[in-house]
Amino acid sequence: MGDIRGFLKRGRKDLGCRNVSERVEDFNNVYLPPSKDSSMEQASRCMDCATPFCHWACPLGNYIPEWNDYLFKGNWREALKLLDATNNMPEITGRLCPALCEYSCVLGLNSDAISIRDNELSIIEAGFKEGLIAPHIIEDRTNKNVAIIGSGPAGLSCAAQLNRAGHNVTVFERDNKIGGILRYGIPDFKLEKEILDRRIKIWEEEGIDFKVNIEVGEDYSAEELLEDFDAVCLACGSRVPRDLNIKGRELRGIYFAMDYLIQANYIASKETIDKDDCINVKDKKVVVIGGGDTGADCVGTSHRNGAKSVIQIEVMPKPPECRGDNEPWPLYPTLFKTSTSHEEGGQREWSVLTKKFLGRDGAINKISCVKIEFEKESENSCPSMREIPGSEFEIEADIVILAIGFLHTEKSTLLSKLSIVFDERGNVKTDDCYMTSAKNIFSAGDMRIGQSLVAWAISEGRKAAYSMDKYLMGDSNLAVM
């Protein structure tokens, strides 16, 4: 390492944010761009530990200490090479990943962890700015045709890897533009779509064929798919939302989170939406049910759309602010976190069970709730939920957004035609090589493992690509963790 005592000399410094009063007026990125000098200084804190557990925690196996060392020395080109070796979209993970690696950082045992995610973002953005990132044109093609169904992070990383292997890759997307959940499920204030378009343009120049507004199985038959392609990867995500089937669910004004976020992204990109389906929260009292990242995205989007008030409720207890004994280092702990959306206002409540929706004239106007607690009947039993007597209360609501997760992938015509087998959770079942029950058909990402993180999706896509390449060619030189 360039400075073996850097972690003793310098403290952690995270990326700054735009002022709240400014950023809630638009959907632009909330974070200020990374400074090269600051990033090099922060990289010096990487302590060259004997056993770097950041590798272990990262789903992609990023070469974190190594590219931190290059970053500290100002060798951006070599840092970028290492980053590109394990990650097809570091500009995405550098913005969206919850940084599992940082919670396994050895320095984090007795100090603040290395700012790994910020450093990653600094490397990739410097690479684009300085012209170090350019299309890598593949000259030798295998004449094997591969189809990717779905253009989320799993599908895109799978496509990028298979294209590197020399196969002719076609990506099918049913929406208007490529990107899947990255484009339509993530607000612009977390991921400006120009960032996504920048990468897609490179892949197009490298030879990947992107086809939009095509529902494979409907607009393009399963029979044609099997005839035209030597192998197929299903990467359609996990899009069936978990519902809250309680009394009053039929009332107007109750929506799924993804429907709201997709609409907001359509509006931000000036795409056409049906006015009759518009979810208008302006001057409304909004209640978001669900305390995760998707719920937080709905909170931030509601602020920008002019909501009168925003309350986010969660059935689980408020997480601790410090790591507990049941989640020791280097495990990823459940901790209380405040996102940039929460910094912008609103109210958060924990241990709240929604009992029923109350309405007037067919529309939601209140939520009936009760406080709960979790108790163990014995030392070895799982905690059970118990309502606290006398804790019933109501919350006024004009709009309710359900952000309580997803169940499984959609059971489409394509999957039926291909006779795809599902596991007990409703996800696509594969073997250890990512192949489904149908010959030549593979699957990756949330469609296979259920709802997860963007880093896991990219890792899934890369591993599926390796298996597909090996299946097609008998062996593979693609990098895989």
In a domain, 28, yes or no: yes
Confidence of residue 256 (pLDDT cuts 50, 70, 90): very high
Q: What are phi and psi of 432, to 5 degrees?
A: -70, -15
In a domain, 80, yes or no: yes
pLDDT at 2 (0 to 100): 64
User: How confident is the model over 455-470, as a mean pLDDT?
Assistant: 98
User: How confident is the model over 127-147, as a mean pLDDT?
Assistant: 95
Query: What's the chain's average pLDDT?
Result: 95
Instruction: Please tell me whether residues 17 and 154 are part of one structural domain.
Output: no
- CATH value at residue 28: 1.10.1060.10
pLDDT at 102 (0 to 100): 97
Instruction: Please tell me whether residues 227 and 254 are part of one structural domain.
Output: no
User: Which token pair is 324?
Assistant: 């507990």
Give pTM, 2 decimals.
0.95
- Is residue 32 scored above 80 in pLDDT? yes
Q: Are strands 254-256 and 399-402 parallel, antiparallel or unpaired?
A: parallel
Instruction: Please tell me whether residues 228 and 254 are part of one structural domain.
Output: no
Q: Are strands 441-443 and 231-234 parallel, antiparallel or unpaired?
A: parallel
Largest CA distance in the chain: 72
In a domain, 465, yes or no: yes
- Coil, strand, or helix at residue 324? coil
Task: Please write down the HEC assignment for all residues of 150-165.
Answer: CCCHHHHHHHHHHHHC
Instruction: Please tell me whether residues 400 and 420 are part of one structural domain.
Output: no
Q: What is the CA radius of gyration of the chain?
A: 23
Identify the weakest region by mean pLDDT among 42-56, 287-301, 330-344. 42-56
- Is residue 1 scored above 80 in pLDDT? no
HSE-up of 347 (CA within 13 Å, CB side)? 10
Domain span at residue 328 reads 243-404
Confidence of residue 481 (pLDDT cuts 50, 70, 90): confident
Q: Residue 10: which residues within 8 A CB-CB, separation 6 or more?
A: 41, 42, 44, 45
pLDDT at 94 (0 to 100): 97
Instruction: Please tell me whether residues 114 and 195 are part of one structural domain.
Output: no
pLDDT at 274 (0 to 100): 80
Q: How far is CA 183 from the centre of its chain?
A: 11
92 and 195 Cβ atoms separated by less than 8 Å? yes
442 and 430 Cβ atoms separated by less than 8 Å? yes
169, burial (CB in 10 Å: exposed 0-12, middle 13-18, buried 19+): buried
What are the E-state strand segments in 272-428? Answer: 285-289, 309-313, 347-349, 352-360, 363-375, 384-387, 393-396, 399-402, 406-408
Q: Residue 448: which residues within 8 A CB-CB, separation 6 or more?
A: 427, 428, 430, 434, 460
Q: What is the dihedral of CA 40, 41, 46, 48, to 10 degrees?
A: 80
Element (H, E) at 382: none
